[in-house]
Amino acid sequence: MEVININRNQFEEMVHSGKTVLVEFSAPWCVYCRRLAPSLESVAEEYKDTLVFTAVNIDDEPELAETEAIEVVPTLLIYHSGQTLGSIVAPESRAQLVAFIEETLQHRTQEVNNAQHIYDMIVVGGGPGGYTAALYAARAGMDTVVLEKLSAGGQMALTEQIDNYPGFEDGIDGFSLGEKMKRGTERFGVETKLTEVLSLELSGSVKKAVTSEGAMYAKSIVLATGAGPRELGVDGEQALIGKGVHYCAACDGMFYRNKTVVIAGGGNTAAADALILSRICKKVIVVHRSGTLKATKIYHEPLMKTENVEFLWDSKIIALLHNEKLTGIQIRNVKTGEESTLACDGVFVSVGRKPSTELMKDQIEIDPAGYIIADESTRTNIPGVFAVGDVRTKALRQVVTAVADGATAVHYAEEYLAGEM
């Protein structure tokens, strides 16, 4: 089948025609474009019943190339109903071109299949709040799916020991608890899809979640996206992640066996991290802005009795010293203004959390700290959308309060779906 050369007007007509269209952006001076042409024509014949194959000369249509962000030729894009389904730059073989087409069409098929099914509830996030909502929803007869980008448990899965969740007399690690919560929902038919949510459309009676596996739809959505670690906000922090800067002692502490590390923070997470690291590291230095720990009292005595834990009170980190890796920190006393340097092998940042609200911040009411505004009913300003766990405004962010949110959200979701709201 021949590849059709098109101009801008024909391009607009083609990509909005409802057909699936492959467009090659090329140029007559491009040697690789000429090399690709025989394979492209061959593949066009093979897929003539599935795709319309077209080509745009970027020399003739420079504005179109700029609009479509074409920086290298040949660039091939596949469109459907005005949406870009996939792209590839300079495929190196016919096999690679075919693989690109097959993968893109498979995602399109998955999206069509998903579009034919509307769930009663989509839960975005597989932490304790999300899985409790899924459990209660499924037991209430609601068709429910959980979308989780990595694994069950969310941030809870990174916690080495949880002693304040009822029912586990010896405590339990967060990963195991997350897996138990997931398996509990599976008994009642909940499916967990390990996929990343790319965007959300929350208005209207049918909500949409666009994922890396395609679009999914539901009558209600529970936002259980949680909160991630807050950064120090000093120069070079991003570049040093994994090279001396870390945010999870349970994950990365073993890299610092018999070394000196700094904990930045004084809350519960910082205190727990200090205890974890004290069993691994030669020395642990806690740098805290205040003159006493903000952590609950249960942490105070064990920390004070641990010989290799030291405290720098009324201090904050103002710079990270490094070559290729971290070599130390510069600190400032917040009361006197005095500055000093401290050699260390690693810094573990435990200065609080930041809510994961990027997906919905332009659609939903959010407070100045970035948390979704939702009271104890978990209802947001959008009907049929509920926020649970660490992502919403609340006084206490713990596993047990996230679980309570999940149950509450389903109570009000049932009312919403029954038309009682």
DSSP string, 28-81: TT-HHHHHHHHHHHHHHHHTTTT-EEEEEETTT-HHHHHHTT--SSSEEEEEET
* pLDDT above 70 as % of the chain: 98
In whole angstroms, give the CA distance from residue 34 to residue 173: 58
Q: Which of 59, 163, 235, 251 is catalytic?
A: 251
Q: E-strand spans in 179-230?
A: 191-194, 197-201, 207-211, 214-223, 227-229
Instruction: Give me the pLDDT at residue 113, please.
Output: 63
In whole angstroms, give the CA distance from residue 54 to residue 41: 10
Give this prediction's pTM: 0.62
Q: Is 33 tagged catalytic?
A: no
Q: Which of 30, 120, 173, 248 is catalytic?
A: 248
Instruction: Give me the pLDDT at residue 111, please.
Output: 66
In whole angstroms, give the CA distance from residue 137 to residue 120: 9
In whole angstroms, give the CA distance from residue 107 to residue 277: 44
Q: Is there a contact between 286 and 274 (Cβ–Cβ < 8 Å)?
A: yes
Question: Does an H or E element contain 119, and which?
Answer: strand 118-124
Instruction: Give me the pLDDT at residue 252, please.
Output: 82
Instruction: Give me the pLDDT at residue 162, please.
Output: 84
> In the 8-state DSSP scheme, what is residue 183?
H
Q: Which domains does the chain have, with CATH numbers?
A: 4-116 (3.40.30.10), 118-228+354-418 (3.50.50.60), 232-350 (3.50.50.60)
Q: Is there a contact between 281 and 260 (Cβ–Cβ < 8 Å)?
A: yes
Q: Is 281 tagged catalytic?
A: no
Q: E-strand spans in 346-415?
A: 346-349, 353-355, 385-387
DSSP 3-state helix, strand, coil percentages of the chain (rounded to 5)?
Answer: 30, 30, 40
Give the chain's residues under pLDDT 50.
421
Q: Is 248 tagged catalytic?
A: yes
Each residue's pLDDT tens digit, 89-110: 999 899 999 999 998 888 777 6
